[in-house]
Amino acid sequence: MKNNDYQKCIEACLKCASMCNYCASSCLKESDVAMMAKCIQLDMECSALCYAAAQLMSLGSDKAKDICKLCAEVCQKCADECGKHENEHCQECAKACRECAAECGKM
């Protein structure tokens, strides 16, 4: 497959990774950081997977579909966790994670 075949998914992954990083750093500034621990952990895992998926897709790796499947699972978990919090950064992250999970799920 050509890079163009993956472009929409690559963009969704990069957007999601960026939002997860922003969410994690914003959660660290919350008054009750301990309450945000699971959100922060999932943000970091999701971001790492999204970056890896985008990189493998841009390389045209034959493992891109495999990592996209895992990425979709983790993105959904992250969306579920972020969705529990009322903070704007968590809600925005949940939205980006859902969009990325949908794109990765199409792979």
What the block records as the tokens of 53 is 């998926």
pLDDT number for residue 2: 53
CA distances from 94 to 44, 56, 75 (A): 13, 23, 8
Residue 58: DSSP 8-state: H
Model confidence at 5, pLDDT cuts 50, 70, 90, reads: confident
Domain ranges of the chain: 3-105
Say if CB 30 and CB 18 are below 8 A apart.
no
d(CA 29, CA 15): 22
The pTM of the full predicted model, rounded to 2 decimals, is 0.93
According to CATH, the topology of domain 3-105 is Substrate Binding Domain Of Dnak; Chain:A; Domain 2 (1.20.1270)
